[in-house]
Amino acid sequence: MHVVELEKVARELGLRKEEYERILAILGRVPTLTEIAMFSVEWSEHCGYPHSRKWLELLPREGHFEVLVGEDAGGIVYDDVVIVFKMESHNHPSQIEPKQGAATGIGGIIRDILGSGARPIACLDSLHFGPLEDPRSRYVMRGVVEGIAWYGNCVGVPTVAGEVWFYPAFRGNCLVNVMCLGIAPRGKLARARARGVGNAILYVGNRTGRDGIGGCSILASQEFAESEEKRPSVQIGDPFTEKCLIEATLEALATGFVVGIKDMGAAGLTCSSSEMAASGESGVDIDLDRVPVREEGMEAWEIMMSESQERMLLCVEKGHEEEIRSIFKKWGLEAEVIGRVTDTGRVTIRYRGEVVADIPAKELVRPPVYTPERVRPAYLDAVNSLTLDDVPLPGDFREAFEKLLGSPNLASKRWIFEQYDHMVQTNTVILPGTGTVVLRVKGKPWGIAVTTDCNPFYCYLDPYKGAQIAVAEAARNLAACGARPAGVTDCLNFGNPEKPDRYWQFVAAISGLSEACRFFKIPVVSGNVSFYNESPLGAVYPTPTVGMVGIVQDVTKALRGCFSKEESLVLLFGETKEELGGSEYLRIVHGIEAGPPPSLDLGFEKRLQEFLIQCIEDGLFLSCCDVSEGGLAIAVAEAALSGEKAFGVEVDLAPFEGFREDVLLFGESCGRALASVSPACFEEIAGRAKRWGIPCVLLGRVGGDHLVFRRGSQVLFSVPVTEALRIWEGALAKYV
Amino acid sequence: MRFGVVVFPGSNCDYDCFYVLRDVLGQEVVFLWHGDEDLRGCDCVVLPGGFSYGDYLRTGAIARFSPIMSSVRDFALSGGVVLGICNGFQILLESGLLPGALLPNRSGRFICRYVFLRVERTDTPFTLLFAPGEVIRIPIAHYQGNFFLPQDELSELERRGQVLFRYCGPSGEVEEAWNPNGSANNIAGIVSLNLCVMGMMPHPERASEELLGSTDGRRIFLSVVKWLEEKRHARCGA
């Protein structure tokens, strides 16, 4: 191919002029077409993180527990178990082809965990869509849920938790952030490296086809106008093969003859071969004629860039190839030795008797770093100028309450999570919908609590504080079931980083995230950055999704969020402040989208959380949940309605003096939690709260068949439990 | 007493059943590979839930042709105890060991949730430890659990008392409102004429430990243990 044409191809694949020149310098010659393809995917935003890598160094890596950070996922060590977890985005594929986009997102993140040598034990999803009134958004939401159910249920990993948000900012670009968690015995983690001259490079799993070619560089590394043409770039998943791949891989790893292993996900064979070589300080020599392919006549660059799903690359000790191959064959999977480890430090690719690529591995995995200009977005001042005096009190509190209870962001997500098998593997101790989800680890007295959190609207109003609130809320959710936060994985979703205001949002959010994590001493063990989340409709809200994992020391004491007993007392911990900014109440009831978001006192948060954990460990609570979006009224309603039996409750706001009623009912002040307790424990708890400096208000009592909110003698509203249930449980189904 | 849990490619509740039998109930249990024919002397064969062969073609349709199933068939026809759960139930239907078909759920969606079941008879190997009409709580998790039989065959099934579990309300009311998937007559589980082959959509292995919220499921396994023990004693005593 002519040099001018090569440069053109390089540009089409997203390589900048100066990047192309660097390639010329690295190779000392004109690159081949295959080499250009390989550089383009390795240096793409999706694989190489050129715009974010510098900032990721801000994130803390140390916490209360030992941290292990591997090539593809990280984890923490507790007892003699490594808990590995990671979150990743699959936004653009899901917007274009919702079912397959979401499904292959699940497949990919499961293989990341599998590649670390851990058995995947749970998945979570943080989903963001446009409003359900919009038909296209409904289609995307239905497809994404269907894809997660179809793939996740078949593959036998329970989908246990997550969050779902609906805002207009996600109409043209949904967010599908998927998280997977796995466990392995301490010391049994696998590495993503090729090492030992002469060792075999073994290709296993599905055959390679032309599907998903350039999926990551094309789809995830530039803004996109939603286009049918890009559908071929979306990969197609096969959960049955993935299930077999999980079992075969774990069986193979148990032999002790696997030196290294890596998922062939984004950027496929290019990424796995070059990164395994680089991290093993080795070279690899691969013959593409031996790669199992789906069709004849594929070009070398197509094989190298294909993102066909359910494939892994292994480095196997010389002499044990057949033993490992036979395991994969037993599970009905392809398994072919396609190359060997060398000491050249180069990734050498051969095809049809010719060398089609020969690149120093370390150069390939060293993408450029960009820190473009950043400018504080102009909109921030305008949207943060709320004065409460301009907000009228609602004429009818019941109407306002019911409107919020039935709004998609606050309504029950049962319609979604019941479509996911959240019980397979029989570890789910606290089920989704009833509180923070807790998993047991068979044979251990302790358990694992998991959550994902981020309020994207807060982050839009204030990316720095929004990110901090996300960390605080995640930790508070864990504390509410009795878990101490142990580690974070993050998925940072932003617009085009080449636009200065978007890049400012990113830097502000990651700074907030890292400071909050540092404050709580929670290490960020893994994560993912997703830029270019914008469509002709504009950029998404900046969304730094936090996936947090915590430890419950005694899993039998893990606490649910729902009320469990008539006549128990309802307590509110924490301070309610005169603030409504960023609240769902303002958006839904008044149509006001304005901040600032609630204030945050990290020191108080930490104290409150430790207080909650100790009360739960001492068996003082019957239920506990955090108070967040929708405020106290929605938190009380959720606690009343979400158990297998719904309860009535009577709440009296008389103890609060001088507050507006809507602030008390619907304000979203941080640092608050709701608990139900046995009357016999009340004195002990109140005394303890006083000693800890935690405001504690006795709100009322569980019982009756209405949700009643009063302020002294004035009944603000009273809704029959059956009616509240109908509104809350029926909201999502109404749209879909 | 030895249990065998069959592993098909795509089974995903195989280990869950194995764990309950071995670790919770202290029974001897082995995995049986789909490609083998040897039942390894098992007294009870469990066909676990999951997506055998990816549910491709039709749920259970490919699994019935695997080598192990011809042995399971012979075993069942000679009075061996076979328990099919969820996908295992579907495989039993495809194999002709039980009558009927499981259609996609009426809602067209996968459903994972706890349901109430009414125990319809207690003189089978699977229900010895229940009281007649007892209401139990066990989760379902399936996309195709809508039990179907043509009307005349359904009447015949009912007449012969082959219905073991029905979806019901918390007080045992068998009503349409408590039917999660559209099953004919709220049927959740049925048994063969010789009472030794049972298929059910709910997952007893998920309701066998206090920590997970219900122990009703373990009594199904324990019933089998008791039944096998009594049978063995009877044989020994004879």
Concatenated DSSP letters for chain B? -EEEEEE-TTB-SHHHHHHIIIIIT--EEEEEETT----TT-SEEEE--B-GGGG-SSTTTTGGGSHHHHHHHHHHHTT-EEEEETHHHHHHHHTTSS--EEEPPTTSS-EEEEEEEEE--SSSTTTTTS-TT-EEEEEEEES--EEE--HHHHHHHHHTT-EEEEEE-TT----GGG-SS--GGGEEEEE-TTS-EEEESS-GGGGSBGGGTB-TTHHHHHHHHHHHHHHHHHHHH-
CA pair distance A307, A303, nearest whole angstrom: 9
Q: Which residues of A touch B211 (CB under 8 A)?
A: 429, 440, 555-556
Task: Report the side by side order of strands in the sheet with B2-7.
Answer: B28-33, B2-7, B44-47, B81-85, B197-200, B187-191, B163-168, B111-119, B135-142
Which chain A residues have a beta carbon less than 8 Å from that of B203?
423
**For residue A131, what is the enclosing H or E element?**
none
Stretch 91-130 of chain B: residues touching chain A, C-beta under 8 Å? 109-114
> Is pLDDT larger for residue A555 or for residue A210?
A555
State which residue of chain A sits closest to B56, comparing Cα positions. A240
- What DSSP assignment string belongs to B42-95? -SEEEE--B-GGGG-SSTTTTGGGSHHHHHHHHHHHTT-EEEEETHHHHHHHHT
CATH number of B2-237: 3.40.50.880
What are the pLDDT digits (tens) for A439-481? Answer: 999 999 999 999 999 999 999 999 999 999 999 999 999 999 9
Decide which of A221 and A189 is more confident. A189
Is residue A90 annotated as part of the catalytic site, yes or no? yes
Q: How many CB atoms lie within 10 A of CB A430?
A: 26
Q: Tell me, yes or no, if A149 comes closer than 8 A to chain B by beta carbon.
A: yes
Give the SS3 label for residue A324.
Answer: helix
User: B86 catalytic, yes or no?
Assistant: yes
Instruction: Give ipTM to 2 decimals.
Output: 0.96
Query: Do residues A403 and A589 touch, judged by C-beta distance below 8 A?
Result: yes
- CA–centroid distance for A450 within its chain: 11
A556 in reach of chain B (CB within 8 A): yes
The strand pairing partners of A700, in sequence order, are A570, A651
8 Å CB contact between A198 and A341: yes
- Chain A with chain B: Cβ pairs closer than 8 A: 85
Query: Does the N-terminal peptide bond of residue A120 adopt cis geometry, omega within 30 degrees of 0?
Result: no
* pLDDT band (50, 70, 90) for residue B225: very high
Distance of alpha carbon A499 from its chain centroid, rounded? 25
What average pLDDT does range A331-356 have in this prediction?
97
CA torsion sign for A154, A127, A667, A709 is negative
Nearest by CB to residue B141, choosing from A244, A421, A440, is A421
Radius of gyration over alpha carbons of chain B, in Å?
16
Q: Which residue's entry shows tokens 């890009």?
A: A230
B205 touches chain A (CB under 8 A): yes
The 8-class DSSP code of residue A556 comes to G
Report pLDDT for B8.
97
Domain boundaries, chain A: 1-51+191-367, 559-736
Q: What does the alpha-carbon distance between residue B58 and residue B201 come to, in Å, rounded to a whole number?
A: 16
Per DSSP, A170 falls in state: G
| Binding site feature residues of A | 49, 86, 88-92, 111-112, 235, 263, 307-309, 490, 527-528, 530
User: Residue A514 — φ and ψ, nearest 5°?
Assistant: -70, -35
Q: Is B34 a catalytic residue?
A: no
Domain boundaries, chain B: 2-237
- Tell me the nearest-neighbour CA distance from B28 into chain A, angstroms: 18
The yes-or-no verdict on residue B97 having pLDDT over 70 is yes
List the binding residues of A for substrate.
89-92, 111, 235, 307-309, 530
Q: Indicate whether B34 pLDDT > 60.
A: yes
pLDDT at A47 over 80: yes
CA distances from B29 to A151, A217, B171, B200 (A): 30, 49, 35, 21
Q: Do domains A1-51+191-367 and A559-736 have the same CATH topology?
A: yes
Query: How far is it, in rounded angstroms, from Cα A423 to Cα A160?
Result: 8
Q: Please name the residue of chain B whose CA is at the shortest distance from the CA of residue A150.
A: B110
Q: What is the pLDDT of residue A213?
A: 76
Q: Which residues contact B156 (CB under 8 A, 6 or more apart)?
A: none
Contacts of B23 in chain A (CB under 8 A): 442-443
Average pLDDT rounded to a whole number, residues A589-610: 97
Token reading at A173? 């670009």
Give the mean model confidence (pLDDT) for residues B25-54. 96
A672 touches chain B (CB under 8 A): no
Contact state of B112 with A240 under an 8 Å Cβ cutoff = no
State mean pLDDT over A544-570.
Answer: 98
pLDDT exceeds 90 at position A248:
yes
Query: What pLDDT, on a 0 to 100 scale, did the predictor assign at position B122?
Result: 96
Residue B78: Cβ within 10 Å count: 9
Side chain identity at residue B120, one-letter code: E
Residue of B nearest to A424 (CA): B13
- The mean pLDDT value for B46-50 works out to 97
CB A666 within 8 A of CB A601: no
Q: What is the pLDDT of residue A229?
A: 57
Task: Test B50 with A156 for CB contact under 8 angstroms.
Answer: yes
Q: Is the pLDDT of residue A19 over 50?
A: yes
**Nearest of A122, A277, A263, A109 to residue A193 by alpha carbon:** A277
Contact A240 B51 (CB under 8 A): yes
DSSP secondary structure of A492-533: EE-S-TTSHHHHHHHHHHHHHHHHHHHHHT--EEEEEEE---
Q: How much is the pLDDT for B236?
A: 43
Tell me which chain B residues have a C-beta less than 8 angstroms from the C-beta of A419: 109-112
Amino acid in the structure at residue B152: D
pLDDT at A129 over 50: yes
Cross-chain Cβ contact B114/A556 below 8 Å: no
Judge: A153–B109 Cβ closer than 8 Å, yes or no. Answer: no
User: In this complex, do A239 and B54 lie within 8 Å of one another by their Cβ atoms?
Assistant: yes
Residue A218's pLDDT band, with cuts at 50, 70 and 90, is low
Annotated catalytic residue within A46, A51, A320, A422: A46
- Ranking A4-18, A618-632, A652-666, B65-79 by mean pLDDT, the lowest is A4-18
What is the nearest CA distance from B181 to chain A, expressed in angstroms?
A: 13
Asked if A425 and B53 come within 8 Å (Cβ–Cβ), the reply is no
Q: What span, in angstroms and rounded, lies between the C-alpha atoms of A346 and A664?
A: 64
Q: Which of B86, B94, B120, B196 is catalytic?
A: B86
Determine whether the interchain pair A156/B12 forms a contact, defined as Cβ–Cβ distance below 8 Å. yes
Bridge partner list, A526:
A489
Mean pLDDT of chain A: 95
* Percentage of chain A modeled with pLDDT above 70: 97
Contact A664, A615 (CB under 8 A): no
* A153, A240, A423 member nearest B139 (Cβ): A423
Alpha-carbon gap, residue A213 to B33, rounded angstroms: 37
Percent of chain A scored above 90 by pLDDT? 91
| Nearest-5° Cα angle at A84, A490 to A507 | 15
Of A153-167, A320-334, B219-233, give the lowest mean pLDDT range.
B219-233
Q: What angle do CA B193, B194, B195 make, to 5 degrees?
A: 85
Q: Which pLDDT value is given to residue A214?
A: 65
pTM, 2 dp? 0.96
What the block records as the tokens of B237 is 């005593």
What CATH topology corresponds to A1-51+191-367? Answer: Phosphoribosyl-aminoimidazole Synthetase; Chain A, domain 2 (3.90.650)
State the fold for domain A559-736: Phosphoribosyl-aminoimidazole Synthetase; Chain A, domain 2 (3.90.650)
**What is the C-alpha to C-alpha distance for residues A476 and A481, in angstroms, rounded to an integer?**
9
Task: State how far residue B87 is from chain A, nearest Cα, in angstroms.
Answer: 11
Residues of A in contact with B10 (CB under 8 A): 154, 240, 243-244
Residue partners of B171: CB distance under 8 A and separation at least 6: B135
Name the residue with tokens 């390679």. Answer: A208
Report the alpha-carbon distance of residue B173 to residue B118 in Å, rounded.
8
- Tokens found for residue B33: 């590979």
CB atoms inside a 10 Å sphere around CB A60: 19
Cβ–Cβ < 8 Å for A626, A473: yes
| pLDDT tens figures, B175-199 | 999 999 999 999 999 999 999 999 9
Q: Which residues pair with B199 in a beta bridge?
A: B84, B190
| Predicted pLDDT of residue A232 | 61
Which residue would you say has higher pLDDT here, B218 or A70? B218
Q: Write down the catalytic residue from B120, B142, B168, B203.
A: B203
Neighbours of B80 (CB within 10 A): 18
Residue tagged active-site, from A51, A90, A320, A706: A90
Which of A417, A422, A426 has the CB atom closest to B16's CB atom? A426
A331 — contact with chain B (CB < 8 Å)? Answer: yes
pLDDT, averaged across chain B: 95
Which residues on chain B are in Cβ contact (under 8 Å) with A425?
15-16
**Residue A241 sits at the chain B interface (C-beta within 8 Å):** yes
d(CA A342, CA A354): 18
Mean pLDDT value across residues A487-505: 97
Q: Cβ B113–A331 below 8 Å, yes or no?
A: no
Mean pLDDT across the stretch A391-400? 96
What's the confidence (pLDDT) of residue A217? 58
Average the pLDDT over A265-292 and give the result: 94
Where does the pLDDT of residue B238 fall: very low under 50, low under 70, confident under 90, or very high at 90 and above? very low
**B15/A153 Cβ within 8 A:** no
Asked whether the beta carbons of residue A426 and residue B209 sit closer than 8 angstroms, the reply is yes
To the nearest whole Å, the CA of A444 is away from the closest chain B CA by 12
CA distance B213 to A566: 20
Residue B237 has pLDDT above 50, yes or no: no
> What does R_g of chain A's alpha carbons equal in angstroms?
26
Contact A556 B211 (CB under 8 A): yes
Alpha helix locations (H) across A185-330?
Answer: 239-254, 268-279, 300-305, 321-330
Q: Give the nearest chain B residue to A447 (CA atoms).
A: B211
Q: What mean pLDDT is predicted for residues A131-147?
A: 97
Q: Which residues of A are annotated as a binding site for ATP?
A: 49, 86, 490, 527
Cβ A77 vs Cβ A207: under 8 Å: no
